[in-house]
Amino acid sequence: MTDTDPEPKTAPGPLELVQRFVNSLDYPHGPDELATPESAARWIEAATGDAVEVSPRDIKRLVTARETLRDLLEAHAGEAVDPEVPVRLQKLLSCAPLRPVLTTDGATLVVDCGGVDSLLGRISTAIVWATLEGKWSRLKVCRSDRCRFAYYDHSKNGSGQWCSMRVCGTREKARAYRARRRATELPAG
């Protein structure tokens, strides 16, 4: 997102980690916080508090997971998404073992590994939490092809399409208006 929005669109609870993960690249050509093993390790420590070692192979896994997750979140904003996207994401996240922890109040899933898999496991548990809380479908990716910023839709009916109506929404509506006008204008001749 290029401009600050007066209303924050931060996801609640553990879903914020998923949002931060997707936004670790300022799409499309901005800085990528997962570009190198060193920058990825710094990002993971800042996001989770865990100091981890990150290999070049881990970078490929992280970036692939992030971009697959970004593609999946397009469905929440009304875009058609290839049915293979959730299958690919499940495969990427499944290398992190999770275990249930039971108390008298209920159960939760916790990550049972370290390193990069720990981050991917936390993302998995956040998605499960958000699904059970009815919040998962509100984490979306801006419909602007120039943005693709992950945001949490706090609108009453969950119908938001842009990370910022003031910035991306206005641009997209103006672009659509100009396209409609060009289509209805008669060719000079």
| 3-state DSSP of the chain | CCCCCCCCCCCCCCHHHHHHHHCCECCCCCCECCCCHHHHHHHHHHHHCCCCCCCHHHHHHHHHHHHHHHHHHHHHHCCCCCCHHHHHHHHHHCCCCEEEEEECCEEEEEECCCHHHHHHHHHHHHHHHHHHHCCHHHEEECCCCCCCCEEECCCCCCCCCCCCHHHHHHHHHHHHHHHHHHHHCCCCC
Q: How confident is the model at residue 1 (pLDDT cuts 50, 70, 90)?
A: very low
Residue 4 clears pLDDT 50, i.e. is over it: no
At the top level of CATH, which class does the domain 15-184 belong to?
A: mainly alpha
Residue ranges of domains in the chain? 15-184
Q: How confident is the model at residue 147 (pLDDT cuts 50, 70, 90)?
A: confident
166-185 pLDDT per residue, tens: 556 555 555 555 556 666 77
64-120 pLDDT per residue, tens: 999 999 999 999 998 999 999 999 999 999 999 999 999 999 998 899 999 999 999
